[in-house]
Structure 1
């Protein structure tokens, strides 16, 4: 069956890098694009010291050469949360290697769409660059060769050198399938092969060595240019939260990869259903109380759900969606005030919390409390 490929936009990364503050455009110089033509570049500025400035070239945001291209031989990319969490997570891992005060962020410019199409495909006589295993012709859940690698994400980190920019480092995420979905015939029933975390991690590490060697062969990548490479475990297609990173390493020179670092992350959706055991029973209970309180205050709620993110066993953040039906601006104002009061009283006090209050038509209000803060920032959207 012919492989289908889709391109997923990376606008999320641009928004994330800019954060929610005011952006100050900073003229930084010019970079040469040829012997007779130059293109000026600027940077977006930054809202805080822990976010990267991004590169603007010719007055436009410089998009990726592949824009997060994903292989869709299976339909796992229906879970758009995987795309967002992988982009955000790779930036966070990159901060361990590339300082936000020293490096500028640029969408990947080394790997083109056609290159990634080959890398993400199966190895074959016609595609010797394929990182996924050869098709063994079998269709059974446990005897076929699954597609282990779902997507490759590249991020470049630039250094200012006088009036020019030079490549200072590269970060790569290998998005691995935890479940590989497939059909035995065109438009046939969907089947799946489950891939264990140890297996996808081992396969990812083997692929990482090949990816580093291929990057080193590119003229723009110096022998001593640091390459951070990370393995991402994608979540299932019906999940309401993205996957997590499981390991990362840095190649500081040549084709060698230093020892791998384990990443202990977990995500879950609240409230838990089907008698599933929550990651943290206290957090789950606190959320259930919060949900009950706001439902009793405003009966027209269509749903209250949360994405919970844990690192090393500790809750790092809650992203909460509250969907309801409003009839007037005053209802929105009153409800938002009550939601923030309930969140301050019932939700964990030491984690970052984002609350999106939505109606069927649009976003109505937003509330956020940063980690370590005691108060919420709120904004109610209105119109004239």
Structure 2
């Protein structure tokens, strides 16, 4: 009997050891499959998928920009912010290859520096990129041209260190300036012509380059790309677009300006829009909108925003506003929208469809480029 108990004890101990060893090898194998990081004095680098930049993590936290979110005025188009930053990163890929450079949020322009750059010039301070206030309150006033700045840094590894190898700075220019004639008074809108906006942007670019090169850690010979972005008007459903870029290789010298053929088109297009860009997509979206409206009568509206580069659609975001009263209604409608989207919406570019009420999002449908079906997520 004693021998039987001892045998059972040893069997239990052996089984426990096998479990412990199995767990050990499981976690070893799991850690070998996890994305690795390269450490450099408290700095880690994420390993991203092909076509994406590695990014910088410091002391276990993502390295954010101290100057993010700063604007010259509180007014603006909310959809511009996301498009401005993501579009700038896509533009950067043509200058700084993802396989060679490491992306870092802007670290050289402090919040105080950006605030001073976005301010108006005064008699005692010429730092600001925006012109002096001439005291006028009509169309002859000096508008706020420069609404916001975004800095993106591109690093290379030198041994165990990271070194700044280049920068891309986006300059968001207003196409419409919102102002008040008196504090807390009504808002007035001043349209800025394309010619004035473009000319003013070129005028202040060398001044901005000079300020950037004055910052500690910025070498006078690293390439700095300046990319100009035209904000959409405050009430626009779509975002703005990048329209021009130039590169400073040394000092404040800038190469000749190159046009960027980016455009944003809102669907359905207005009858006054005679542009050929997005004509086919507009026809498809109109058919899509009519089809889903026939399926469910409670649709309040459907709109889409298409982004085009060199006249080619690169993405489309669709918003369907309606009201459902049960989860089964939402599910049925979302599934129908997914099938209608396959039939009518473009397949050559990524498409995201948001189904929402006035107060909440109820479903999101996503299809990547050239995929056949949409992924439907009910919220």
Which structure: greater helix fraction? 2
Q: Deviations over 1:62-108 (max 9, x none)?
A: 11111131111xx432x111111110111011001111122222111
The CA RMSD measured in Å over matched residues stands at 2.1
CA distance in 2, matches of 1:285, 1:213: 48
Aligned residue number for residue 17 of structure 2: none
Aligned residue number for residue 7 of structure 1: none
Matched, 1:303 2:301: yes
Aligned residue number for residue 62 of structure 1: 63
CA distance in 2, matches of 1:51, 1:356: 26
Q: Does the aligned pair in 1 maintain the 2:335–2:376 contact within 8 Å? A: no
> Tell me, what secondary structure is at the counterpart of 2:212?
helix
Deviation (angstroms), 1:358: 2.8
* Greater C-alpha radius of gyration: 2
> Tell me, what secondary structure is at the counterpart of 2:300?
strand
> Tell me, what secondary structure is at the counterpart of 1:71?
coil
Moved more, 373-382 or 198-207: 373-382
Distance 1:25 1:128, change over 3 A: farther
Matched, 1:152 2:149: yes
Aligned residue number for residue 103 of structure 2: 105
Where does the alignment leave 5 or more consecutive residues of structure 1 unmatched? 1-22, 32-39
> Tell me, what secondary structure is at the counterpart of 1:319?
strand
- 1:228-377 alignment runs, 5 A limit: 228-273=225-270, 275-277=272-274, 279-360=277-358, 362-371=360-369, 373-377=370-374
Distance 1:186 1:359, change over 3 A: closer
**TM-score, length-normalised on structure 2?**
0.85
Deviation (angstroms), 1:329: 3.6
Matched, 1:41 2:53: no
CA distance in 2, matches of 1:363, 1:195: 35
CA distance in 2, matches of 1:140, 1:359: 39
Deviation (angstroms), 1:273: 4.4
CA distance in 1, matches of 2:34, 2:300: 40
CA distance in 1, matches of 2:177, 2:327: 46
CA distance in 1, matches of 2:333, 2:46: 35
Deviation (angstroms), 1:190: 2.0
CA distance in 2, matches of 1:24, 1:132: 48
CA distance in 2, matches of 1:26, 1:61: 16
CA distance in 2, matches of 1:362, 1:24: 36
Where does the alignment leave 5 or more consecutive residues of structure 2 unmatched? 1-32
Deviation (angstroms), 1:276: 4.5
The one of 38, 57, 63 equivalent to 1:28 is 38
- Kindly tell me the number of residue pairs found equivalent between the two proteins: 346
**TM-score, length-normalised on structure 1?**
0.84
